Structure 1
Amino acid sequence: MVLDSFSKGRNAWRTRVSVILCSAIIVGLLAGCGDSPSKEDASAKQSSSNASTTEVAPAGQQSAAPSERTITDELGNEVKLPAEVKSVFAPNMEDSLVALGVSPVAQWSNGKLGHFYLQDQLKDVPKIDHSGGLPGPEVLMAHNPDLIVLHAESYAKNGAYENYAKIAPTYVFKNAAGDIEKSLITLGDLLGKSNEAEQAVQAYKQKVSEAKDKLSSVVGDKKVAIIRFAPRGVSLMGGEYFCGYALHQDLGLGMSKLVENKTAANISLEILPELDADFIFVINAYDQGTERMTEMMASDIWKSMPAVKNGHVYEVNNQHWLGSGLIAYEKIIDDTVRLLTSK
């Protein structure tokens, strides 16, 4: 009886211990399940974290893809620009294109002669002769431009704009040469090169400022004239275009009364005594004005001029002095400073 009671008590004790142990194991398992997420849960949480990071990332860190846009040119034409301009034709604006780091599909030329001072950069660009006017649409189609830029209103006349606009979007300036800095900024916007345009303009302004400082003590309020000798005649260049703009508007050098508020004025031996200039720059246009230049310079009237007597006549490089763009203007300014401050 004692043994039987002892056996029954031992069995009851074992039962109670087993229950306690099982309860502990179950609690532990439940706790472990609560602390360790499944692989699916972890993956879902990671994806949610990544999505949140993408949503809060600053927009400026991602560059938006370019898109087509419609603008209005200086003649009021609506121009639908492609998302990215890859091939441009802009005759007589090659200087500005090179300044922006852009190579056109074709370049302007007079016969076989292009812009001399740009040929290192444009040596592989085909030339299109403009001596007889703008090339026909069939000529331009062979070069497959996706943007055409005409530098002057005159280029868009007589149906030229309508014909060109059928080939590619065509933007027309009223007169790009009248304000090179402004037209360069516009061209930069058209081509997606606004930063390059701003940098080029700022560099040019710095050069102009430095040149003015160097010239102020030499030139002062004295006047400068630019005489262009060409096969068709001799002209005094005003301050509205090309080298005249660079000297008279940008550098602020005084000009003769003969060309005040004028693009240019014809010069002959009869008018020559009226030329009021202390310094004279001479341009032999495309090396084709030699005969007229020789004839005028051999005359007594020429030799009697104060600028000639004082040795203040300088023949300059027609290649960039007849150029239109900041690259040409910088070369013109370098020449002007060098020649006028050398004595």
Structure 2
Amino acid sequence: MTRRPITRRLIPSAIAVAAVFALAACGTTEAPAAGSTNGAALTVTDARGEKVELAGPAKRVVGTEWNVVETLVTLGVDPVGVADVPGYTAWDTAAALPKGVKDIGTRGEPSVDTVAALNPDLVVATTDLSESAIAQLEKIAPVVVVRSADASRQIDQMIDNVNLIAEATGTESAAKSEIAAFEKAIADGKQKLAAAGLAGAKLAFADGWKEGNQVSVRPYVTGSLLADINTELGLVDPWALDGDKDYGLASTDVEGLTKLGDARFAYIANNADAGDPFADGLKDNAVWNSLPFVQNGQTYRLADGIWMFGGTAAMKQYIAAIVDALTD
């Protein structure tokens, strides 16, 4: 995702010759050339409505955004190139990268030359990447674009993305199993929360960052992926704020937290990137310390490395973490 604020959460020369998609001749004993694919040619329609032609299920795949990289690995496709490898490693631990994966630069501005040198047979990008960057990548290899987020149908959009990536990589069976596992995690989590008497409990989620002495708070309101997951778990979103049309994110400050009343409060920070803006950044703040969820011990920092904008694997991590936190 291309939104600010925490360093790693930023989402966003000559072009090499196009990748070769040639199958080895029938009867030959030579290995397929790098960048070639096995299987029948296929055409997939991506989030832009573009029909993307592939010589076969893609094997050498580059991912320009962490959610698509996570999905590739989850489906059993080891990407050959990933944007901001250190950032992915710190922020998305749901699907570990293979050793030796090439860093292609930033998520908002991948290196065209680096991608070309990898000779990919597919690049998977999101609608957060600029059209100009996508156009440059299309000179190297076919590009399938998934919609980054949709606040009107966040969970369905995530599942659509999994299915589209699976179609382009021939991993439909793995996608079916993964989606079923995600749906089971939702059902099991909802049951555990209900058994603990937490059905209908109010839970606010946010992240934040500190600049100087000021802590900014970013609420994940209804329409965000995590708030929608919480709703599926039987929880209630107490934020009375409007989020953006893609990610369902809003903006407030410490004073804005006073409007949450008796709600519980959960957040994710990262020791590898700016630390804890709440427990550390607000430890001496009188407003923070007066909040009911702080005084009642109902503030939950979830584990580092759960990517709030991730795919089904990250969301399974989140479900396990929030259920454990609330029922501990």
Same fold (TM over 0.5): yes
How many Å separate the matches in 2 of 1:334 and 1:277? Answer: 23
How many Å separate the matches in 1 of 2:61 and 2:241? Answer: 36
Residue pair 1:239, 1:247 contacting (<8 A) in 2 also:
no
Aligned to 1:339: 325
Aligned to 2:203: 224
**Aligned with residue 94 of structure 1, among 69, 72, 79:** 69
**Aligned with residue 296 of structure 1, among 282, 289, 295:** 282
Give the TM-score taking structure 1 as reference length.
Answer: 0.72
Deviation at 1:278, TM superposition (A): 1.9
C-alpha distance 183-84 of structure 1, shift in aligned 2 (>3 A): closer
**Aligned with residue 279 of structure 1, among 259, 264, 267:** 264
Structure with more of its chain in helix, by fraction:
1
Deviation at 1:298, TM superposition (A): 2.5
**Aligned with residue 129 of structure 1, among 105, 109, 133:** 105
Deviation at 1:192, TM superposition (A): 0.7
Could you tell me which amino acid in structure 2 is paired with residue 317 of structure 1? A
How many Å separate the matches in 2 of 1:296 and 1:247? Answer: 25
Larger Rg: 1
Residue pair 2:200, 2:234 contacting (<8 A) in 1 also:
no
Residue pair 1:229, 1:289 contacting (<8 A) in 2 also:
no
How many Å separate the matches in 2 of 1:156 and 1:70? Answer: 23
Deviation at 1:82, TM superposition (A): 1.7
Could you tell me which amino acid in structure 1 is paired with residue 292 of structure 2? P
Residue pair 1:256, 1:277 contacting (<8 A) in 2 also:
no
How many Å separate the matches in 2 of 1:74 and 1:323? Answer: 18
Question: Which deviates further from its counterpart, 201-210 or 301-310?
Answer: 301-310
How many Å separate the matches in 2 of 1:98 and 1:209? Answer: 24
Q: Give the SS at the match of 2:164.
A: helix
**Aligned residues with identical type, % of pairs:** 24
CA RMSD in angstroms, aligned pairs only: 2.4
How many Å separate the matches in 2 of 1:328 and 1:290? Answer: 20
Q: Give the SS at the match of 2:83.
A: strand
**Aligned with residue 221 of structure 2, among 232, 238, 259:** 238
Q: Figure out how many residues of one structure are paired with residues of the other and give that number.
A: 273
Give the TM-score taking structure 2 as reference length.
Answer: 0.75
Q: Give the SS at the match of 1:129.
A: coil
How many Å separate the matches in 2 of 1:329 and 1:306? Answer: 28
How many Å separate the matches in 2 of 1:86 and 1:295? Answer: 45
Residue pair 1:238, 1:264 contacting (<8 A) in 2 also:
yes
How many Å separate the matches in 2 of 1:323 and 1:261? Answer: 15
**Aligned with residue 180 of structure 2, among 191, 198, 202:** 202
Deviation at 1:323, TM superposition (A): 4.9
The one-character-per-residue Cα deviations of 1:107-151 (angstroms, maximum 9, x if unpaired) are 2217x33233157443332223316x2213212101111011112
Residue pair 2:204, 2:239 contacting (<8 A) in 1 also:
no
Residue pair 1:229, 1:293 contacting (<8 A) in 2 also:
no
C-alpha distance 122-315 of structure 1, shift in aligned 2 (>3 A): same
Aligned to 1:16: none
Deviation at 1:99, TM superposition (A): 1.4
- Larger RCO, structure (CA 8 Å, separation 6 or more): 2
- List gaps (5 residues or longer) in structure 2: 1-37
Aligned to 1:325: 311
Aligned to 2:168: 190
